[in-house]
Structure formats: structure tokens, C-alpha cells
Amino acid sequence: MDTEEALVNFEPNVCRIPAAWPRRAVRHGLLGGLLLLLVACASTPHRRQPASAPPHSALADLPPRAPSAASAGEANDVLFRAIGLVGTPYRWGGNTPDGGFDCSGLVDYIYRAATGITLPRTSHAMSTMQGRKVNRMTQLASGDLVFFDIGGAISHVGVYVGKGRFVHAPNSGGTVRLDDLDGPYWGNHFAYGKRLLE
């Protein structure tokens, strides 16, 4: 037998697999895959737990309070105007929705638009105006101004909207937002409220 003839008739030593084996292997593979899928679906995914519980104002459970029956309509106008401005950009010295707000510009804009009352330009000047002083957070009514002592003087103001929350323009680079009055930072710096609507 010459080389050419040997290559043509050459049958390598191939391990022959019985015809039933591939079907059995496929069945076992599918069964194993299905089992893995069931195990994966049955386990709960690992979720990171927050370091602390989500903030919840202790004041949120107090009944809503309006300054007086006579001014309830104005207080509601102040509340809705304030909440409607959440998300407006902060801008130092700003006092319009288009231009942005700083804290006192925001409060003045809300009061002018909702009640026609023009307020002084700074939070400190607002804190000295006529109006009933409210020393305890639990006695605040919707529409009250809330003042904060930061660094030994009144230097921030917002509008109380009820349920322990207030709207304010807190800082450069941020936006007008709604925060818990008794949260860790603001609760420690709360000085008092001022009721302009009676």
C-alpha cells in the first residue's frame, strides 16, 4: 500500500460515542441550567442597607395649623407659591424665578406674589420686622417665616409650609428645596419663627 492509498483509507482511532449519549448530555445540561436558574431566582439579592433611617420630621404628625381663620387663604397662597418654586436654581442676590433666588429674595418674592407684602432684602432685616415671634417649632403655622442663627446671628430664612417642612434657598450651586425643620442641621440652627399673617 503506497502512501497515497494509505491516506485515503486511513481511519483514525476515533472514540465512537453512542448515539444516545449526546441526547443524554443535552438533557443533563438543560436540567442543570434550569436548576441553577431556579436557585438564582429563589435567592434574594444583596442590597446595601442605608446607614440610617430616612429622615422623618417628628413635627410631621402635628395637625396642620393656619395662622388664623381670617388669613388662612393668604397662608395657603404662600404655601403653594413656595412649594411651586422648589427646584429653582440658587443665585446669590437673586429674587426672581428666571434669575434664581437667594434665601431672602425667595421669601420676599413669595410674599409679594401671594400677599402683596414687600419684605426687607436681608434675612437679618426680615427678622427684626413687626410680627408675632414664634419660639417653638410645634407652634409654627403655614406661611410663617423661619429664621436660623448660623455663626451667632440670623443669616438664613425660609417659609414654613406645615408638617415640619420649610422651603428655602440654602446655598450656592443648589436649588430651592423642601427640608425638615427639625433635621440634624436646621434643627440645631433654628432661632424662631415670625408670623406676618394674622
Residue 72 confidence (pLDDT): 79
Residue 68 confidence (pLDDT): 63
Residue 40 confidence (pLDDT): 46
Percentage with pLDDT > 70 across the chain = 66
- pLDDT band of residue 51 (cuts 50, 70, 90) is very low
Query: What single string gives the DSSP state of each residue in 101-170?
Result: E-HHHHHHHHHHHHH-----SSHHHHHTSSSEEE--GGG--TT-EEEEESSSSEEEEEEEEETTEEEE--
The cell 443648589 sits on which residue?
174
- Judge whether residue 44 has pLDDT over 70: no
- Judge whether residue 2 has pLDDT over 80: no
- pLDDT band of residue 41 (cuts 50, 70, 90) is very low
Q: Write phi, then psi, for 175 (nearest 5 degrees).
A: -135, 165
Tell me the average pLDDT across 165-180.
92
* 62-195 CATH fold: endopeptidase fold (from Nostoc punctiforme) (3.90.1720)
Tell me the average pLDDT across 112-117.
95
- Judge whether residue 194 has pLDDT over 90: yes
> Which class for 89: exposed (0-12), middle (13-18), buried (19 or more C-beta within 10 A)?
middle
